Structure 1
Amino acid sequence: MTESSNINPDSIMAAIGAAVEQGRAGERAEARESLTRLWDAVGEHGDALHRCSIAHYLADLQDTVMDELAWDQRALAAVTDLDDERARRYHDSLQVRAFMPSLHVNLADAYRRAGNAAEARVHLSAAAADLDALPENDYGSMIRAGIDKAREALDSGSR
């Protein structure tokens, strides 16, 4: 069985994935526009998986740390409306608790760059609290390394 056989078709998630690939290909403005259109279509009270995913990826495409922080906050707010049942309707391996380290480390890093070390430490601690929910794969390793990198930057006083 291939990994893709566990993924249920979802046109919004497919559009999010396409926009993310645009961004990774260096088309940041186009990706940001695509994700913003998706956010507008889904709405602030739409499907929580869609809102969380869109906001999470939109944060990475912002030009200012304050805009990035606002989208990271939206992603965290959206995940509070998400449950494992909904996440697994998209992909049967997903659990909401495993989203938390990534969402919190992104907030920690944005707060650090915004000069709010205290709030950065709160989110860094929250990211570490759910590390056991991460899979033992490349994704889990990437998030663990991101937490270590954010902690080192925070401890060194980097902004």
Structure 2
Amino acid sequence: MDPDNQVVRLCAQGMAAEGEGRADDARARFREAWDVAADDYEHCVAAHYLARHQPTPEETLRWNQECLDRADAVGDDRVRGFYASLHVNMGSAYRALGEVDRAREHFVRAAAHIDDVPAGPYADWVRLGIAEGLRTTR
């Protein structure tokens, strides 16, 4: 992601606020990122972070679905490496709502995309999310 992009910068600020325990500031930065997003790619990035700060599982699912829909609308390689994580998030949201079958579908879809995630700690985290999701939705 381009660190000079305003949406990416705002989301980075929000993540820093999260790390410092300032959830309200994090939510405000993520909301601002959504508000200034100019295209589907930027909306996808902002929606990903907004999903993490929703008061209900239903709203979390709604923002994760928004993120996935925006990634689909981008339709190019900028989002290719996002799909494994996006499906883990969808699976987690459905699992929180007790919709185990739908959750499992997304964990399986995440596994199908894991090779698109660059190697490293983030890919390891996504793999762990997939494994945990598949284990808990048998």
State the secondary structure of the residue aligned to 2:4. coil
For 2:26, the equivalent position in structure 1 comes to 31
**Match for 2:36 among 31, 36, 41?**
41
Moved more, 47-56 or 29-38: 29-38
Task: Report the alpha carbon displacement of residue 39 of structure 1 after superposing the two structures with TM.
Answer: 1.3
For 1:64, the equivalent position in structure 2 comes to 56
Pick the structure with greater CA Rg. Answer: 1
Q: CA-atom RMSD, angstroms?
A: 1.7
Q: What is the alpha-carbon distance in structure 2 between the residues aligned to residue 41 and residue 135 of structure 1?
A: 28
For 1:141, the equivalent position in structure 2 comes to 124
Count of matched residue positions in the alignment of Structure 1 and Structure 2: 137
Q: Deviations over 1:69-119 (max 9, x none)?
A: 1110011011012222xx3xxxxxxxx221101000000011011011121
Q: Percent identity?
A: 32
For 2:69, the equivalent position in structure 1 comes to 77
Which letter does structure 2 place at the counterpart of 1:15?
A: L
Is 1:21 the counterpart of 2:13? The answer is no
For 1:123, the equivalent position in structure 2 comes to 106
Task: Report the alpha carbon displacement of residue 21 of structure 1 after superposing the two structures with TM.
Answer: 1.6
Moved more, 6-15 or 146-155: 6-15
* Unaligned 5+ runs, structure 2: none
Q: What is the alpha-carbon distance in structure 2 between the residues aligned to residue 8 and residue 134 of structure 1?
A: 19
